[in-house]
């Protein structure tokens, strides 16, 4: 069966520090991959999605970037965190040609 | 992308059916209706989807009107654990991007 791993579960980082969040999927190949952010009390914002290795679509201009170095690995990065980057970050995957998505447990990031 | 309209919040008594409406009056012929829910502090969970026929699974039923301009998600016997934000999303088949709206906050009361 398919599983999605996302870590760490919680993270506290100082302003100006770098960020790297990793997400991996097991049990499937060639998935669509997504990064979402949810600020406190707000809705889910799609940040990036990818349909293949090296193919990244950015939905919102911001301080973050994403990469997909392997088929089932999706990384969210920042060179210098801002206070406004705080939030709940979720990775998800869906089969190709489907919007039935499966989400990881999320990373709660607090920038201080 | 077709847009959806959902009530901001709804209440339901435990054990009763919860009927969550969604309006998607601009839906196109190749667009599916998807439902997800997000329980507090967790990632969204896929519930069900359909094109034109009514659908049922172990979690819920999806009723789509004949003109496909609206749909209703039915939780037949709501429990306290069904308290969550429910999202209705319309996407073409094979579409890769998944955008969430504001959803409906369902509160199930004892």
CB-based contact A103:A90 (threshold 8 Å) = yes
Chain B nearest C-alpha distance from A2 (Å): 14
Query: Which residues in chain A have their CB less than 8 angstroms from residue B48's CB?
Result: none
* Mean predicted confidence (pLDDT) in A47-51: 92
What is d(CA B65, CA B69) in angstroms, rounded to the nearest whole number?
7
A99 vs B34: CB contact, 8 Å cut-off? yes
Dihedral of alpha carbons B21, B26, B31, B36, sign: negative
Considering only the beta carbons, identify the residue of B32, B38, B96 that sits closest to A32. B96
pLDDT of residue B1: 52
Count of other CB atoms within 10 angstroms of residue A51: 16
- Of B75, B40, B34, B33, the C-alpha closest to B58 is B75
Residue B67 neighbours by CB under 8 Å, 6+ apart: none
Query: Which tens digits make up the pLDDT trace of A58-108?
Result: 988 678 999 999 999 999 999 999 999 999 999 999 988 777 899 999 999
Decide: B90 and B33 in contact? Cβ < 8 Å: yes
How many angstroms separate the CA atoms of B73 and B61, rounded? 6
Spatial contact of A107 and A21, defined as CB atoms under 8 Å apart: yes
Q: Is the pLDDT of residue B96 over 80?
A: no
For residue A8, whether the previous peptide bond is cis, meaning omega lies within 30 degrees of 0, is yes
The per-residue pLDDT for A65 is: 95
Nearest in space to A96 (alpha carbons), one of B81, B95, B37:
B95
- Can you tell me the distance from the alpha carbon of A33 to that of A37, in angstroms, rounded to the nearest whole number? 14
Residue of chain B nearest A90, judged by CA positions? B43
Cross-chain Cβ contact A43/B102 below 8 Å? yes
Interface list for chain B against chain A, based on CB atoms closer than 8 Å: 32, 34, 36, 38, 41-46, 49, 89, 91, 93-103
Q: Do the Cβ atoms of A38 and A45 come closer than 8 Å?
A: yes
Pick the more confident residue, B98 or B76.
B76
pLDDT, tens digit (0-9, with 9 covering 90-100), for B19-72: 999 999 999 888 899 999 999 889 999 999 999 989 999 999 999 999 999 999
Name the residue facing A106 among B43, B45, B102 (closest C-beta).
B43
Banded model confidence at residue B97, pLDDT cuts 50, 70, 90: confident
Among A32, A59, A90, select the one facing B43 at the smallest CB separation: A90
Taking the mean position of all CA atoms in its chain, how far away is CA A93? 10
Cross-chain residue pair B98–A98, CB shorter than 8 Å = no
């Amino acid at each position: 069966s398919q599983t999605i791993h996302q870590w760490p579960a919680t993270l506290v980082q100082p302003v100006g520090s770098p960020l790297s969040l990793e997400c991996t999927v097991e049990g499937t190949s060639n998935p669509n991959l997504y990064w979402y952010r949810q600020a406190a009390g707000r809705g889910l914002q799609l940040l990036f999605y990818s349909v293949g290795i090296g193919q990244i679509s950015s939905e919102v201009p911001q301080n973050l970037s994403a990469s997909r170095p392997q088929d089932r690995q999706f990384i969210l990065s920042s060179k210098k965190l801002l206070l406004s980057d705080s939030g709940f970050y979720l990775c998800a995957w869906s089969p190709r040609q489907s919007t039935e998505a499966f989400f990881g447990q999320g990373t709660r990031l607090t920038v201080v | 992308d077709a847009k959806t309209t959902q009530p901001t919040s709804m209440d339901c008594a435990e054990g009763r059916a919860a009927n969550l409406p969604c309006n998607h009056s601009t839906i196109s012929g190749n667009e599916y209706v998807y439902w997800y829910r997000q329980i507090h502090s967790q990632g969204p969970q896929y519930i069900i989807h359909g094109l034109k026929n009514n659908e049922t699974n172990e979690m819920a039923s999806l009723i789509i009107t004949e003109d496909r301009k609206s749909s209703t998600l039915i939780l037949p016997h709501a429990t306290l654990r069904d308290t969550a934000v429910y999202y209705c999303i319309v996407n073409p088949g094979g579409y890769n991007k998944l955008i969430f709206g504001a959803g409906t906050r369902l509160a199930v009361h004892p």
